[in-house]
A and B are shown apart, each in its own frame.
Chain A
Amino acid sequence: MIQVRELTKRYGAKTVVDHLSFTAKPGQVTGFLGPNGAGKSTTMRMIVGLDAPNSGDVLVNGKPYASSKAPLHEIGVLLEAKAVHPGRTAVSHLLALARTHGIPRSRVDEVLALAGLTAVAHKRVGAFSLGMGQRLGIAAALLGDPAVVMLDEPVNGLDPEGVLWVRNLLAGLAAEGRTVMLSSHLMSEVSLVADHLVIVGRGKLLADTTVADFVTAEGVRVVTAAPDALRTAIAAAGVTVTSTGAEELFVTGRSAREIGLAAATRGIPLFELTPQNASLEEAFMDLTRHAVEYEASR
């Protein structure tokens, strides 16, 4: 479990993380989403104590991370692929981390096999591709059999097979009852694996929700000759109708079927009746539109 409470980090005058609070629970995959520069990596660094917050705090499995007697058993992290000395072999890199905790050599071989790196275990990391670097980083994160696994942009640079591997791996880890948190700036990628979504923009919490709740922002586009009559026909509590054009309405809270039937019984001609599921990606874009740090000019 990761509990982030009112976490704030400033660099000079710039507030990178702004009173951020959320909880990543065991048995769930928490997707940590936000545009570039939203403060995701900074938050993750503060969770494992690499950066000190200006205010607020973080508990990992109920206690501050630095006080743990076996940190690698509490949380395994991948913060940046290839943040490894390029002159060291994969096996030496993992062994150096393992030895701090007295983790046996056999576990190093185990995670190398799990990450599909056995064949290159004795190759120097400098020669690794970005994807292999990601795999090594994930292997390192799993070294201590941690209760929490936290990965920053784990699928960057991975091939499709690798992406699928990560997805299955994370789902499996969560099914074992571990807390899994992964960050991404791509909604499509996270929605496939995450149960829980924490969305940030400019360091602030924008949404703390589930994937299922997040996509129910859907409606029906209706084009009709008599918009006012139709409005009256379908009006009810929980139904919103917005006018998007002279003959166009956007309705939420009623299905296309209900609208069609209501129009038919009153003889209102419909020219178009289209259910619109705002895609996850669109919903995400809508939510973060005003919180994009680096935006291309249009």
Chain B
Amino acid sequence: MKITPGGVVAAEWTKFSSLRSTWITTGISVLLLIAFGVIASASFSGDSLSAVDLALSGSILAALTVGVLGALLGASEYTTGMIRATLAAVPRRLPVLWSKSLVAGLAALVVMTAGAFGAFALGSAVLNDGVAALGLGDDGVLRTLFGAGLYLGLVAVLGVALGMLVRSSAGAIAILAGVLLILPGLVALLPDSISDPVGPYLPSNAGNAVMTLTQADGSLAPWTGLAVFAGYVVVALAAAAYRLKKTDA
């Protein structure tokens, strides 16, 4: 009997999968992704968006719910007091953060990748006549769909990091929504001389680059965008790790 990294991951998976809220939040995330994709695919006509971009219309909202999933997982340790039992069992502490991130990230990656493919398949089936159909073999389609899964997986990790960092569900969710949804809108209001160079590097804009086929002007290249977003996640994780290690539980 001893602590193993695999054991800590298994424990975090048990915690993750044994909560009803996990399944509800995950279900809502997939539902939003697919529902928005199908509705947009069926109703949009024009050539400014491709079939795969339409199929992923729900990704912005799905990002919020997936982030909430991660934030709840992280913050609930503190709001319920469970953290004391958790850290008494794993007194080195950091393995808990890594394992929780891994479990939430991988679960979101797998489910949301499947969701992205589902949205694309269903969206293509009901695609508005005004939009050119795309197949999985077309340029960039696979990258976009897998990119959506990777981005949403990373958003779940960001949620975990914020939850463990601020130790409050409401606080973590507010920060998450602010960063992903409100910040881009605020920066867009600034003069172009500021918003043009800064905008593409904002977390959600950078992440968006990897899951859009038709790149907006000034957007980062797909994988660069994902790497930039991953950088934000690493910073949040580092901050969470510092607080976890240095402060009283």
Q: Which residues of A contact B (CB under 8 A)?
A: 45, 48-52, 65-66, 68-73, 75, 77, 79-80, 82-89, 92-93, 95-103, 140, 144-145
B7 and A82 contact, CB distance less than 8 A: no
Query: A-side binding surface: helix, strand, loop or mixed?
Result: loop
Q: Is A101 in contact with B7, judged by CB distance below 8 angstroms?
A: yes
Q: CA A83 – CA B90 in complex, angstroms?
A: 16
Q: Are A96 and B11 touching (Cβ within 8 A)?
A: yes
Contacts of A93 in B (CB 8 A): 18
Contact status of A71 and B14, CB under 8 A, knowing A84-B81, A100-B89? no
Could you tell me the distance between the alpha carbons of A127 and B81 in the complex, rounded to whole angstroms? Answer: 16
| Bound Cα distance A45, B91 (Å) | 12
Question: Which A residues lie within 8 Å of B2 (CB)?
Answer: 69-70, 73, 101-102
Tell me whether B1 is interfacial, beta carbon within 8 Å.
yes
Would A48 and B88 be within 8 Å (CB), given that A99-B11, A101-B1 are in contact?
yes
Is A83 a contact partner of B81 (Cβ separation < 8 A)? Answer: yes
B residues less than 8 Å from A100 (CB atoms): 3, 7-8, 10-11, 89-90
Interface of chain B residues 26 through 55 with chain A (CB within 8 A):
none
Q: How far is the CA of A102 from the CA of B2 in the complex (A)?
A: 7
Measured CA separation A72–B90 after assembly (Å): 8
Identify which of B3, B10, B86, B87 gathers the most chain A CB atoms within 10 Å of its CB.
B3
Do A88 and B89 form a contact, CB below 8 Å, given A51-B248, A101-B2, A101-B7? Answer: no
Q: Which B60-92 residues have C-beta < 8 A from chain A?
A: 76, 80-82, 84-92
Contact of B18 among A71, A75, A96, A98 (CB under 8 A): A96
With an 8 A cutoff between CB atoms, is B214 at the interface?
no
> Do A97 and B3 form a contact, CB below 8 Å, given A65-B91, A84-B80?
no
Known: A71-B88, A73-B2. 18 other contacts (CB 8 A): A45-B249, A49-B88, A51-B249, A65-B91, A66-B92, A70-B2, A70-B3, A72-B1, A83-B80, A84-B82, A84-B85, A88-B18, A92-B15, A100-B3, A100-B7, A100-B90, A101-B7, A101-B89
Known A-B contacts A50-B248, A73-B1, A96-B14; the reply to A68 vs B91 at CB < 8 A is yes
Interface size on B, residues (CB 8 A): 30
B189 within 8 A of A: no
Pick from B80, B88, B248: contact of A86, CB below 8 A.
Answer: B80
- Check B14 against A50 for contact (C-beta < 8 Å): no
Please state if A83 and B248 are interface contacts (CB–CB under 8 Å): no
Cβ–Cβ < 8 Å partners of A65 in chain B:
91
CA separation between A96 and B19, bound complex, in Å? 12
Residue contact A103 to B1, C-beta cutoff 8 Å: yes
Distance, CA A60 to CA B87, complexed state (A)? 16
8 A-B pairs closest in CB distance: A83-B81, A92-B18, A99-B11, A66-B91, A51-B248, A96-B14, A70-B2, A99-B10
A-B contact pairs, 8 of them (CB 8 A): A45-B249, A49-B87, A72-B1, A77-B88, A84-B82, A98-B11, A100-B7, A102-B7
Q: Which residues of B contact A95 (CB under 8 A)?
A: 14, 18
In the bound complex, do residue A79 and residue B84 qualify as a contact, i.e. CB atoms below 8 Å apart?
yes
Least distance between B147 CB and chain A CB atoms (Å): 33
Minimal beta-carbon separation of A35 from chain B (angstroms): 23
Contact A79/B88 with A85-B19, A88-B15 known, Cβ cut-off 8 Å: yes
Contact among A72, A82, A101, A145 for B81, CB-based, below 8 A? A82
